[in-house]
Amino acid sequence: MIRSLLMLAGACLASGCGAPDRSSGAWIGDMRICADKIETTRQRFDRSQGLDTLRIGFTPEAAVELRAMSEDYVDEQLPVIVNGGEIAAPKLVEPLEGTGIDLVGIRPEHLVDFLAYAKRPC
């Protein structure tokens, strides 16, 4: 019995214990980014910081999902992933509130990919 539990625990660790497969698509933490969750996007260059910025406006339902998911990342890094590669990982000091977030300092080629997934149906 103990051996079975250890094998199950090992398999869980190896598979991510039910974590989503983030090898394709765009993700913020465990939340897939797609058109049904996004109301607006705005890309701009912040001259004061010298960085590209992507403003994402979420639907009210997606904002609730984002807040709930982000609670698990407080005091940890929240991965922003495109096609399995981490493009940013800001450390959260509190859950994400509101209906919009800014992704700052993302390389332009990653922004293009992220935006393409944000426009695809879920």
Flag whether 31 is in a domain.
Answer: yes
CATH code, domain carrying 109: 3.30.1360.200
Flag whether 6 is in a domain.
Answer: no
Flag whether 12 is in a domain.
Answer: no
State pLDDT tens for residues 43-63. 888 888 888 889 999 999 999
Flag whether 14 is in a domain.
Answer: no
- Extended strands (E) in 34-109: 38-46, 51-58, 80-82, 85-88, 100-104
Flag whether 2 is in a domain.
Answer: no
Flag whether 67 is in a domain.
Answer: yes
State pLDDT tens for residues 60-119. 999 999 999 999 999 999 999 999 999 999 999 999 998 999 988 888 889 889 999 999
Flag whether 38 is in a domain.
Answer: yes
Please count the structural domains in the chain: 1
Full-model pTM: 0.79
Range of the domain at 65: 21-118
